[in-house]
Chain A
Amino acid sequence: MMPGNPAEAMMSRFKGRINPEALKALEVAFGIDSQESTFRQYLDYLQNTLTGHWGISLTFFPVEVSTVVRQALPWTLALVGLTTLLAFVLGTVIGIVAGWRRGGLVDSMLPPVFVVTSALPYFWVGMLFILVFSVWTNGALPNDGGYDTALTPGWNMEFIVSVLQHALLPALTILVVSIGGWILTMRNNMVTTLAEDYVRMGRAKGLSNQRIMYDYAAHNAILPNLAGFAMSLGFVVSGSILVEFTFNYPGVGYMLLSAVSNEDFPLMQALFVMITVAVLLAVLVCDFLTLWLDPRARTQD
């Protein structure tokens, strides 16, 4: 995605401070041969990216970038992946109910509230949670890291409980901020769909409310929401980076920010490429889901 040679950029920053021999050694370590053409270097870079040879991280010298990424990835996937899915499912269900009972209690209460919550900054919500549940309760819930560092990671009860405790506040933060968008879109889609003729047709046929609500209205109303889900994954990713930073959560986002503060370009670039690929994959999955759910999308573009 971002053509260029991270190591070279790093070199120029360190030129004054690193002696020529160390520079040479670093050049060899990063596999840079400055004699080669830019195009050749770019090809090498592409090949290395594809094969996962991202070079050596400067922040965690001399650990390979791929090792750092492999350690950070599960944390983010578990925390952000599960929370995002939960927010989407919960939000969609609430949106269906709100749209179905227009003017009802749920419908009149929720939209104004969620318009505001979806405009909240992720990191600030996280900080408020830290203040309320951690500082004011004298550390009832942990606000730092992914697990209690006194424990050794492993599949034992104690460690799993610790991981869950540490994940609770960040997960809650992402949930609170991201759920509003799903509710509002789903509600709006429901409202638009319920005005369609085939819904009236369903009513005229005397179908049960359940049937009309889920099979007729919700099934069709969810289609634009799926496309929206794919697109707003980018927002969730940005939010999770800030959340991970706020809670020092050892995931991909936190790694990205430590890479930035240490000018660790190989790590930065690898993480960025990985995040991009992950988002693109998710978009692809959403496209297939839409194809599966929507016959109109299957016939000719």
Chain B
Amino acid sequence: MSAIASGGAGGAVGEETLAEPTVLADEGGGGRRTRPGAGIIRAIRGNKKAMVGTILLAIFTLVAIAPQLFTSVRDPNKRAFDISLSPSVHHLLGTTSFGQDIWAQLVWGTRQSLLVAVIAGAGACLLSVVIGVSAAYLGGVADDVLSLLIDVFLVLPTFPLIIVIAAYAGSGGFMVVVAVLVVTGWSYGARQLRAQALSLRNRDFLVAARVRGERQSYIIIFEVLPTMISLITANFLGAALYAVLTAAGLQYIGLGDPSSISWGTMLHWGQSAEALQTGQQWWVIAPGLCIALLGAAFALLNYAFDEVSNPALRPVRRVRVKRRAA
């Protein structure tokens, strides 16, 4: 979804719009290496969307690292309590019709949902960097083949594919889910990065590096990649958002590990126990809300990143006027 939000999609048109951030970075003068990091901090402080996203993400991270701080229940899947209790002091969100504490499940479920997002997001992002950048940098036949691969994965309806793969693989554990998310989630980022790398290819500083006789691998890792950090970060956020939503969807329809503790699995059991119809709304509302909030955190950060790397999109009018005057 974030893929859509980041604007300027395919083909020649996409390459044009994508080239813009770098042009602006050039205008900014020296200090290319230090810019991205400083930019991130400045962006978070100055941008309301980034602020909200960061705070949300920080809260979820804390809960994922130390769920014991938030609930006294140690085994949230154990059927330890009376069934179908309404929310009370003892059970903040009530209990399920299996006698599990909903709040405890929610807290402990954070860990897996966040882990899937980060691992699958990082994996997909890495794959898109490798494929996208090497396609642009190698050129020729290699580029043609890799571009074709990117295009195929781009238009392939991924969710049906995931369902079919997961069904062939048998009800998937954590690693199966992560693997399919990586395989299906890298293509959009690869295309963006390829476009960006193409526009970088013949810049002076790369020509200089080549004249110096640096090795290709050195040039790609130390010259090309640092200039792409903001785009790579945006790609990671997009892939993580995709992973959160898709993993939840998979678990919801029962293709995850049904005994795992995660928000999607909670929704699966809630749906199959008809929680909505039997008055246990919290069983469904709470995990869904958490998925939505985590997804929103990634989406907000992603969108804020777009604004940082493309000043034309910033909400304040003055910025544009200033740029034109300069």
Interface residues of A (CB under 8 A from B): 1-2, 9, 102-103, 107-108, 111-112, 115-116, 118-124, 127-128, 130-131, 135, 180-182, 184-185, 188-189, 191-192, 195, 223-225, 227-228, 230-235, 237-238, 241-242, 245-246, 256-257, 260-261, 263, 268-269, 271-272, 275-276, 279-280, 283, 296-297, 301
CB pair B276–A118 under 8 Å, yes or no, is no
Q: Are B168 and A241 in contact (CB under 8 A)?
A: no
| Pairwise interchain contact A233-B157, C-beta atoms closer than 8 A | yes
The docked-state distance in angstroms from the alpha carbon of A238 to that of B154 is: 14
Number of interface residues of B (CB under 8 A): 63
B3 x A184 contact (CB < 8 A): no
Tell whether B284 is near chain A: CB-to-CB under 8 Å. Answer: yes
Q: Given that A121-B288, A238-B246 are contacting pairs, would A260 and B276 also be in contact in the complex, using a CB cutoff of 8 Å?
A: no
B23 on the interface (CB 8 Å rule)?
no
Partner of B160, one of A189, A225, A238: A238
A118 to B298: give the CA distance in the assembly, Å.
11
- For B13, the chain A residues whose CB sits under 8 A away are 223-224, 227
B167 at the interface (CB under 8 A from A): yes
Q: Which residue of A lies closest to B301 (CB)?
A: A115
For A189, give the chain B residue with the smallest CB separation: B7
With A and B bound together, what is the CA distance between A227 and B80 in angstroms? 53
Q: When the two chains form the complex, which single residue of B248, B271, B300 contacts A121, counting CB atoms closer than 8 Å?
A: B248
B164 within 8 A of A: yes
Does the CB pair A192–B17 fall under 8 Å?
yes
Tell me the complex Cα distance, A241–B164, Å: 13
Complex contact A231–B9 (CB within 8 A): yes
The reply to whether B157 and A121 form a contact with Cβ atoms under 8 Å apart is: no
Q: B1-42 CB contact bits vs A (8 Å, 1 = yes)?
A: 111110111111110010000000000000000000000000
Q: Which residues from B are CB-within-8-Å of A261? A: 254
Q: Which residues of A contact B271 (CB under 8 A)?
A: 127, 246
| B291 contacts partner chain A, Cβ-Cβ < 8 Å | yes
Determine the chain B residues whose CB is within 8 A of the CB of A269 once the complex forms.
164
Does B209 sit within 8 A of A, measured CB to CB?
no
Q: Give every chain B residue within 8 A of A242 (Cβ-Cβ).
A: 159, 249, 252-253
B126 within 8 A of A: no
For window 221-280 of B, CB contacts with A under 8 Å fall at: 241, 245-246, 248-249, 252-255, 267, 271, 276-277
Interface of A is mostly: helix
Known interface pairs A237-B159, A268-B167, A283-B155; 4 further A-B residue pairs with C-beta atoms within 8 A, sorted by A's residue number: A127-B288, A184-B5, A235-B1, A235-B4
**Can you give 24 contacting A-B residue pairs, CB < 8 Å?**
A9-B168, A115-B5, A115-B299, A115-B303, A120-B292, A121-B288, A121-B291, A123-B249, A123-B252, A124-B289, A135-B277, A184-B303, A185-B4, A188-B7, A191-B313, A228-B9, A231-B3, A237-B159, A241-B160, A260-B167, A269-B164, A275-B157, A275-B160, A279-B156
Residues of B within 8 A of A121 (CB): 245, 248-249, 252, 288, 291-292, 295
User: A102 contacts B312, CB within 8 Å?
Assistant: no
Known: A2-B164, A181-B4. A191 touches B312 (CB 8 A): yes
- A220 and chain B: residue at smallest CB distance: B13
B9 contacts across to A, CB distance below 8 A: 185, 224-225, 227-228, 231
- Given A115-B303, A238-B157, is A232 in contact with B164 using a C-beta cutoff of 8 Å? no
Q: How far is the CA of A272 from the CA of B164 in the complex (A)?
A: 8
Given A130-B276, A185-B7, A234-B159: A124 and B267 within 8 A (CB)?
yes
Q: Is the CB of B315 within 8 A of A103?
A: yes
B276-A131 in contact (CB<8A): yes
Instruction: Point out the residues of chain B lying under 8 angstroms from A246, CB to CB.
Output: 271
CB closest chain-B residue, reference A184? B5
B298 nearest CB neighbor, chain A only: A119
How far apart sit A7 and B255, CA to CA, in the bound complex (Å)? 21
Are B11 and A276 in touch, CB under 8 angstroms? no
Are A256 and B160 in contact, with the CB atoms below 8 A?
Answer: yes
Q: Is the CB of A224 within 8 A of B245?
A: no
Expressed in whole angstroms, the minimum distance between the Cβ of B205 and any Cβ of chain A is 26
Chain B residues near A180: list those with CB within 8 A.
1, 5
B320 at the interface (CB under 8 A from A): yes
Find the B residue at minimum CB distance from A114.
B5
The residues of A that contact B249 with a CB separation of less than 8 Å are 121-123, 238, 242
Asked if A119 and B157 make an inter-chain contact with CB atoms under 8 angstroms apart, the answer reads no
- Residue B134, interface by CB 8 Å: no
Query: Which one, B160, B299, B317, contacts A102 given CB within 8 A?
Result: B317
Contact A228 B4 (CB under 8 A): yes
Kindly state whether residue B285 has any CB partner on chain A within 8 Å.
yes
